[in-house]
A and B are shown apart, each in its own frame.
Chain A
Amino acid sequence: MIPANFDYSAPSTLDEALSLLQEHGDEAKILAGGHSLIPMMKLRFASPAHLIDINNIPDLSSIKEEGDSFHLGAMTRESDVEHSEALTGAFPIFADVTKLIADPQVRNMGTIGGNLAHGDAANDHPAVMMALNASVEITGPEGTRTVGIDEFFFGFYMTAVQPNEILTGISIPKQRGKVGSAYHKAERKVGDYATAGVAVQIATDADGKCTYAGIGLTNVNAVPMRAKRSEEALVGSDLSDELIAQAAMMASEDCNPSADLRGDEEYKRHLVKVITKRMIHKAIQRAK
Chain B
Amino acid sequence: MTKIRCKTSKEIGGMGHSMKRKEDARFIQGKGNYVDDVKLPGMLYMDIVRSPYAYAKIKNINSEEALKVPGVVAVVTGRDLEKYNLHWMPTLMSDTQMVLPTDTVMYQAQEVAAVIATSRYAARDGKEAVMVDYEPMKPVIDAHKSLDADAPILRPDKEGKTDNHIWHWEAGDKEATDKVFNEADVVVKQDMYIPRIHVASIETCGCVANYNKVDNHLTMYMTTQAPHAIRTVIALVAGHVGLTEEKIRVISPDIGGGFGGKVPVYPGYVIAIAVSFLTGAPIKWIEDRTENLQADSFARDYHINVEMAGTKDGKIQATRFKVLADHGYTDASANPSKFPTGLFSIGTGSYDYNNAFMEADAVYTNKPPGGVAYRCSFRVTEAVHAIERITDRFAMEVGKDPAQLRMENFIKKEDFPWKSPTGWEYDSGDYHAGLKLAMDTVGYDDLRKEQLEKRAKGEWMGIGISTFTEIVGAGPSKDFDILGIKMFDSAEIRVHPTGKAIARFGTKSQGQGHETTYAQIVAEELGIPAEHIQVEEGDTDTAPYGLGTYASRSTPTAGAAAAMAARKLREKAKKIAAYLLEVSEEDLEWEPGKFFVKGAPEKVKTIQEIVFASYTNHPPGMEAGFEATHYYDPPNLTFPSGAYICVVDIDPETADIKVRRFVAIDDCGHIINPMIVQGQVHGGLTQGIAPAMYEELIYDEDGNILNGTLMDYLVPTAVESPNWETGHTITPSPHHPIGAKGVGESPTVGAPPAIANAIVDAVSHLGIKHLDIPITPFKLFKKLKEVGAIS
Binding site for B on A (CB under 8 A): 1-2, 4-5, 43-44, 186, 188-192, 195, 261-264, 266-267, 270-271, 274-275
Given contacts A261-B698, A267-B782, A274-B654, 7 further A-B contacts (CB under 8 A): A43-B290, A186-B654, A186-B777, A189-B720, A264-B778, A267-B778, A270-B654
- Bound CA–CA A197/B589 (angstroms): 73
Known A-B contacts A4-B128, A261-B698, A274-B653; the reply to A188 vs B288 at CB < 8 A is no
Nearest CB in chain B: distance from A3 CB, A: 9
Partner of A267, one of B120, B290, B694, B781: B781
- Bound CA–CA A188/B782 (angstroms): 15
Across the interface, which residues of B come within 8 angstroms of A264, CB to CB? 778, 782
Q: B125 on the interface (CB 8 Å rule)?
A: yes
Do A188 and B714 touch across chains, with their CB atoms under 8 A apart?
yes
Partner of A266, one of B125, B707, B712, B785: B785
Do B781 and A261 touch across chains, with their CB atoms under 8 A apart?
no
Partner of B719, one of A1, A5, A190: A190
Partner of A189, one of B124, B654, B716, B790: B716
- Bound CA–CA A262/B653 (angstroms): 17
Do A192 and B714 touch across chains, with their CB atoms under 8 A apart?
yes
- Bound CA–CA A156/B455 (angstroms): 45
Do A189 and B717 touch across chains, with their CB atoms under 8 A apart?
yes
Q: B84 on the interface (CB 8 Å rule)?
A: no
Return the 9 tightest CB-CB contacts between A and B, nearest first.
A2-B124, A190-B719, A263-B778, A274-B653, A189-B714, A267-B781, A1-B288, A267-B778, A189-B720
Known A-B contacts A44-B128, A274-B654; the reply to A188 vs B776 at CB < 8 A is yes
- Bound CA–CA A266/B790 (angstroms): 12
Q: Which residue of the partner chain B has the closest CB to A260?
A: B706
Nearest CB in chain A: distance from B687 CB, A: 15
Partner of B717, one of A43, A186, A190: A190
Q: B121 on the interface (CB 8 Å rule)?
A: yes
Across the interface, which residues of B come within 8 angstroms of A261, CB to CB? 698, 706-707, 712
Q: Which residue of the partner chain B has the closest CB to A270?
A: B781
Nearest CB in chain B: distance from A35 CB, A: 13
Across the interface, which residues of B come within 8 angstroms of A186, CB to CB? 654, 656, 777
Across the interface, which residues of B come within 8 angstroms of A2, CB to CB? 120-121, 124-125
Q: Which residue of the partner chain A has the closest CB to B776?
A: A188
Q: How many A-B residue pairs have CB under 8 A?
A: 50
Across the interface, which residues of A come within 8 angstroms of B128, CB to CB? 4, 44
- Dominant SS at the A interface? loop
Across the interface, which residues of A come within 8 angstroms of B288, CB to CB? 1
Across the interface, which residues of A come within 8 angstroms of B290, CB to CB? 43
Nearest CB in chain A: distance from B290 CB, A: 8
**Cross-chain pairs A/B with CB under 8 angstroms, 15 sampled:** A2-B124, A2-B125, A4-B128, A189-B694, A189-B714, A189-B716, A192-B711, A261-B706, A261-B707, A262-B778, A267-B778, A270-B654, A270-B790, A271-B654, A274-B654
- Bound CA–CA A263/B778 (angstroms): 6
Q: Which residue of the partner chain A has the closest CB to B698?
A: A261
Nearest CB in chain B: distance from A191 CB, A: 7
- Bound CA–CA A171/B574 (angstroms): 85
Residues in B683-728 with C-beta less than 8 Å from chain A: 694, 698, 706-707, 711-712, 714, 716-717, 719-720
Across the interface, which residues of A come within 8 angstroms of B776, CB to CB? 188
Nearest CB in chain B: distance from A5 CB, A: 8
Nearest CB in chain A: distance from B257 CB, A: 19
Q: Which residue of the partner chain A has the closest CB to B123?
A: A2
- Bound CA–CA A264/B719 (angstroms): 25
Nearest CB in chain B: distance from A220 CB, A: 14
Do B654 and A4 touch across chains, with their CB atoms under 8 A apart?
no
Q: Which residue of the partner chain A has the closest CB to B716?
A: A189
- Bound CA–CA A188/B657 (angstroms): 11
- Bound CA–CA A195/B782 (angstroms): 15
Across the interface, which residues of B come within 8 angstroms of A263, CB to CB? 778, 781
Across the interface, which residues of A come within 8 angstroms of B698, CB to CB? 261
Nearest CB in chain B: distance from A246 CB, A: 14
Q: Which residue of the partner chain A has the closest CB to B653?
A: A274
Across the interface, which residues of A come within 8 angstroms of B777, CB to CB? 186
Known A-B contacts A263-B778, A267-B781, A274-B654; the reply to A4 vs B125 at CB < 8 A is yes
Across the interface, which residues of B come within 8 angstroms of A275, CB to CB? 654
Nearest CB in chain A: distance from B195 CB, A: 13
Q: Which residue of the partner chain B has the closest CB to A1?
A: B288
Across the interface, which residues of B come within 8 angstroms of A270, CB to CB? 654, 781, 790
- Bound CA–CA A262/B719 (angstroms): 19
Across the interface, which residues of A come within 8 angstroms of B125, CB to CB? 2, 4-5
Do B719 and A189 touch across chains, with their CB atoms under 8 A apart?
yes
Q: Which residue of the partner chain B has the closest CB to A186?
A: B654
Nearest CB in chain A: distance from B217 CB, A: 32
- Bound CA–CA A1/B287 (angstroms): 10
- Bound CA–CA A5/B129 (angstroms): 14
Q: Which residue of the partner chain B has the closest CB to A188?
A: B714
Nearest CB in chain A: distance from B349 CB, A: 31
Across the interface, which residues of A come within 8 angstroms of B706, CB to CB? 261
- Bound CA–CA A1/B290 (angstroms): 9
